[in-house]
Amino acid sequence: MNREGTSKIILPSVSLAAGGIGGAVEAAVTYPLEFAKTRMQLGTVKTRNPFVVINHVVRTEGLPALYKGFPNVILGSMGKNAIRFVSFDAIKNVWKDAETGELTPTRSLLAGMTAGVVTSIFAVTPTQRIKTALIDDGGGERRFRSGLHAARVMYQERGLAALYYGFSGTTLKAISATGVRMGTYNILKDYEHSRNIQPKMSTSFMNGAVAGFVTTYATQPFDTLKTRCQTSNGASTVEAFRNIMADGGIRVFWSGSIVRLGRTILSGGILFTVYEKIAAAMPPLLGAK
C-alpha cells in the first residue's frame, strides 16, 4: 500500500525480471561460499572453515575448480528466484487484505511455502542436483565435463528421475526456506508500512539479511539431506539419512550451517535489495489498485 492509500500490484513480468536479475547478482557474489558449504556437507572435508576449503581447492584443483557448476547455478538461481517471486507475488495479491494491501503473518508464511513447492518442481531440484553432482565429481571421478554433460549422462543412466534425486529433501527445504524467508521478509515489510517507515536500500538489505538468518537454522537439516541425495552417483532420501547418521549422527544435519548462514545473510540482503530496486525502476509495468 502506498502513501496515498492504494496498493501497487506487482505484475508477473516485473516479478520475473526483478527476481531473475536479483538471483543472478546474488549467485555471482556468493558462489564460492556455496561451493565450500557443499563440500563440507558431502563429508569430503573435515573443517568448518569455508576459507580453508576454498584455499585447499584452489591449491590442489586450481581456481577454475572453485567455480565448478557455477554457470548452472547462475541459470538455476535466476530461474529459481524468478519463479519464486512470480508465484509469491501472485499468491500474495490474491490473499492480501483488500483495504490495507497486507497479509497476516500466517498467510505470509503459507504464501511463501506454496511458492516453495512451485520453485522446487520447476527450478531448484534439477539445477541443485546437477550443481551438487558436479562439485562432488570434481573431488572424485571427474566424469562430468559440464552441467549439460552431467545432465545428459545422468539422464542416459537413469532417466528423468536422475535429475530429481533429493526431491523430497529439496522440496521440504524449499517449502520451509521460501516460507520462512519470504514470509519473514513480508512481515517486516508490513511492519515498516504500519509504522510509516520510508523504504530505503539499507532497510531492504537488513530485512533480507534477517530473513536469511531465520531461514538458515530452520532449514539446514533439509539442506544437508538434499546435498547427500544429490552426489554424483545419487542416493535416495532413506539412504542419505542413514549415511548422515553413520557419519556422526544428528549434529551432521547442521554441517556447513555457519558458512551457509554467512552466505544466506549476504544473499538475502543482495537479493531483496536488487529485487526492490529493479521493481521500483519499472513503473510502467506496475498497476495501481
Domains of the chain, start order: 8-288 (1.50.40.10)
Residues of the chain with pLDDT under 70: 1-11, 139-140, 178, 182, 199, 268, 283-289
The predicted pLDDT at position 224 comes to 87
pTM of the model: 0.56
Q: What are the start-end ranges of the H helices in the chain?
A: 12-42, 50-61, 70-95, 105-119, 125-138, 147-158, 167-194, 201-229, 237-247, 257-280
Do residues 112 and 179 lie in contact, with contact meaning Cβ atoms separated by under 8 Å?
A: yes
The 10s digit of each residue's pLDDT in 236-261 is: 888 889 988 998 888 888 877 788 77
The predicted pLDDT at position 5 comes to 39
The predicted pLDDT at position 156 comes to 92
Beta bridge partners of 8: 288
* DSSP states of 209-278: HHHHHHHHHHHHHHHHHHHHHTSSS---HHHHHHHHHHHTSGGGGGTTHHHHHHHHHHHHHHHHHHHHHH
Calculate the alpha carbon distances from 272 to 18, 98, 119, 132, 173 in Å: 9, 25, 17, 25, 19
Cα separation, 73 vs 79, in Å, equals 10
CB neighbour class for 13 (10 Å; exposed up to 12, middle 13-18, buried from 19): exposed
The predicted pLDDT at position 199 comes to 67
